[in-house]
């Protein structure tokens, strides 16, 4: 049968949307003048014939990357769309970001954008298309931020602190994955393999954490991981291996170098003294032992005594002595004339003695809990010019009187080596009197040098006692040098000390009592360690 075309009687019904036929059947055709399209009834609704799709709407934008492990392009957003009213059925939906140049398409009304940066907020818009064209763009949808697991932390180093079992672990924080962190967890691994009890960093922005209470003598590595609302990232790589030191207590005597005597006329102050056995200088109580560990270097410096000088020369204080965190201050020099200018006594571990002048008569102060002050000088008529004694670790230097220079202050006895020895005597004051009426100050017990008369040489402090040098009178006199310092370390006989380069040892690993040893260090600067 040949095809025949039958025209519509009276033409196609027409009107606006509201006046569509009330009881249409499948195949009914209608011209919608309001939308300017021909529509056909499909049994359910009126659909456009031979027309572009209508502009869709975005109903939701959802972060769907939350369960993914972090990478810089792990972010994903799913955009749900609804077809517009009045157009033909879309064959494709297209979604775009307003920044970053991301886009995606789908024949479904659900479109997923991938490769986004976690933690960055994205605003999206969309359009639809079919064979007859592409719609105009939707408006922008409110910004949504894709989020994932946190980025794996970048591990730093693990370090121990001298004298403790503490280990500090460091790391660098990367991206939080688009959500705030809830915790950072640090896990120790015994011998690099067996996980031990984890600890949590103090804040979610922390980049270090200190472990306490780890087993002495054991080796550990550490790993770090971070958690946000999406979950926990993988562990970082491991730190270096750290062995927790085996701790033991060390007794010490740290005695600084004594100060030189002055010319005209103060005695030099003794070096400061700190000790954990019997007593410390300045009347201080016994100090606490220092906790040390095996395999760790500890700094030791033995302070030199101040150099004596000729009349009007440069006065010199003693140098500090050090063991690890313990420092004793060098003794102060005695007062006198420097380049024909009256010079005050110097403060120090123990203070230098004063001279005769109105401006430099006062003895200098010592350091609290290390030593005592120097005595004052005296000025009488004629050559009745007397220097004060330098301070000792035990007692202050004696103030000069008419025709009598001050004696140096006495030192302090300690039995750290098993035998009681006195250290840190102040230097005696010098006198301007050439003979007879003027009494020269004597050095304090514990290595202080005696004072001298005019044109004479003051006595030097005894080496390794920290004693102050004796002062002298003017003219061709020379002040005494301070005695060098001394460091003694006493420790359990279960460990053995090694004295490093730069240090001079007197005795090493010498037994004292039944359970301990000691080592004396007499000069230089370097490290000691125990094994």
Write the DSSP assignment of 422-475 as a string of letters.
EE-PPPPPPBS--STTPBPPPPPTTTPPPP--TTSBPPPPPTTTTPPPPPB-ST
In a domain, 361, yes or no: no
In a domain, 529, yes or no: no
Token digits of residue 529:
């360690």
In a domain, 175, yes or no: yes
In a domain, 128, yes or no: yes
Degrees, nearest 5: CA angle 377-383-386: 20
End position of a domain, from candidates 243, 274, 308: 243
**Residue 12, number of CB atoms within 10 A of its CB:** 11
Degrees, nearest 5: CA angle 274-278-280: 25
What was the pLDDT predicted at 4?
37
Shared domain for 131 and 159, answered yes or no, is no
Shared domain for 212 and 161, answered yes or no, is yes
In angstroms, the Cα distances linking 319 to 14, 153, 305, 349, 435 are 111, 47, 6, 10, 34
What was the pLDDT predicted at 434?
65
Shared domain for 62 and 117, answered yes or no, is yes
In a domain, 215, yes or no: yes
Q: What percent of the chain has pLDDT over 90?
A: 73
Degrees, nearest 5: CA angle 17-21-23: 130
End position of a domain, from candidates 243, 272, 303: 243
Shared domain for 68 and 128, answered yes or no, is yes
Q: Looking up tokens 């500890």, which residue turns up?
A: 298
Query: What length is written for the chain?
Result: 531
In a domain, 258, yes or no: no
Q: What are phi and psi for residue 363, nearest 5 degrees?
A: -70, 155
Low-confidence ranges of the chain (pLDDT < 50): 1-8
What was the pLDDT predicted at 278?
87
Domain count, the chain: 3
Three-state DSSP state, 19: helix
The contacts of residue 311 (CB under 8 Å, 6+ apart) are 263, 264, 337, 472, 474, 475, 476, 477, 478
d(CA 506, CA 97): 79
Shared domain for 108 and 72, answered yes or no, is yes
Shared domain for 165 and 132, answered yes or no, is no
In a domain, 105, yes or no: yes
End position of a domain, from candidates 243, 263, 280: 243
Q: What is the 3-state secondary structure (H, E, C) of 286-302?
A: CCCCEEEECCCCEEEEE
Shared domain for 35 and 96, answered yes or no, is no
Q: Give bridge partners of residue 343 from the DSSP assignment.
A: 336
Residue (of 315, 322, 507) closest to 416 by Cα position: 507
Shared domain for 100 and 139, answered yes or no, is yes
Domain of residue 120, residue span: 57-144
In a domain, 487, yes or no: no
CATH code (residue 64): 2.60.40.10
Sheet order of strands, 154-160 included: 154-160, 167-172, 208-211
């Amino acid at each position: 049968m040949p095809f025949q075309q039958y025209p519509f009687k009276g033409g196609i019904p027409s009107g606006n949307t509201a006046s569509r036929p009330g009881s249409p059947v499948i195949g009914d055709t209608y011209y919608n003048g309001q939308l300017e399209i021909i529509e056909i009834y499909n049994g359910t609704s009126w659909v456009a014939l031979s027309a572009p799709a209508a502009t869709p709407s975005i109903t939701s934008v959802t972060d769907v990357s939350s369960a993914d492990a972090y990478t810089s392009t792990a972010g994903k957003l799913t955009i749900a769309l609804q077809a517009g009213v009045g157009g033909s059925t879309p064959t494709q939906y297209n979604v775009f970001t307003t920044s970053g140049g991301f886009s995606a398409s789908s024949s479904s009304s659900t479109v997923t954008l991938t490769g986004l940066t976690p933690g960055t907020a994205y605003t999206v818009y969309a359009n639809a298309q079919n064979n007859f064209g592409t719609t105009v763009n939707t408006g922008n949808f409110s910004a949504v931020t894709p989020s994932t697991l946190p980025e794996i932390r970048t591990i730093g180093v693990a370090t121990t602190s001298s004298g403790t079992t503490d280990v500090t672990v460091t790391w660098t924080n990367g991206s939080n994955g688009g959500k705030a962190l809830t915790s950072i967890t640090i896990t120790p691994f015994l011998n690099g393999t067996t996980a031990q009890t984890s600890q949590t960093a103090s804040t979610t922005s922390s980049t270090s954490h200190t472990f306490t209470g780890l087993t002495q003598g054991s080796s550990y590595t550490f790993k770090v991981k971070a958690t946000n609302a999406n979950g926990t990232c993988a562990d970082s790589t491991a730190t270096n291996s750290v062995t927790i030191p085996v701790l033991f207590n060390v007794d010490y005597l740290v005695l600084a170098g004594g100060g030189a005597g002055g010319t005209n006329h103060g005695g030099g102050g003794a070096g400061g003294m700190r000790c954990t056995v019997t007593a410390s200088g300045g009347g201080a109580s016994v100090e606490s032992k220092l906790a040390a560990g095996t395999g760790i270097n500890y700094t030791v410096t033995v302070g030199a005594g101040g150099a004596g000088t000729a009349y009007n020369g440069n006065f010199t204080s003693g140098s500090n002595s050090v063991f690890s965190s313990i420092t004793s201050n060098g003794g102060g020099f005695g007062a006198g004339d420097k380049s024909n200018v009256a010079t005050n006594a110097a403060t120090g571990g123990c203070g230098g003695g004063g001279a005769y002048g109105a401006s430099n008569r006062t003895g200098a102060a010592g350091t609290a809990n290390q030593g005592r002050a120097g005595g004052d000088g005296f000025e009488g008529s004629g050559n009745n010019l007397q220097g004060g004694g330098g301070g000792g670790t035990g007692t202050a230097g004696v103030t000069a009187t008419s025709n009598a220079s001050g004696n140096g202050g006495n030192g302090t006895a300690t039995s750290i080596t098993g035998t009681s020895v006195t250290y840190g005597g102040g230097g005696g004051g010098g006198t301007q009197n050439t003979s007879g009426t003027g009494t020269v100050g004597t050095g304090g017990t514990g290595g202080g040098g005696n004072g001298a008369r005019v044109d004479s040489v003051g006595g030097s402090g005894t080496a390794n006692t920290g004693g102050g040098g004796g002062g002298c009178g003017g003219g061709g006199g020379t002040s005494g040098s301070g005695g060098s310092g001394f460091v003694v370390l006493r420790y359990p006989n279960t460990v053995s000390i090694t004295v490093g380069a730069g240090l001079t040892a007197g005795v090493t690993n010498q037994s004292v009592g039944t359970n301990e040893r000691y080592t004396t260090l007499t000069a230089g600067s370097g490290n000691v360690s125990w094994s």
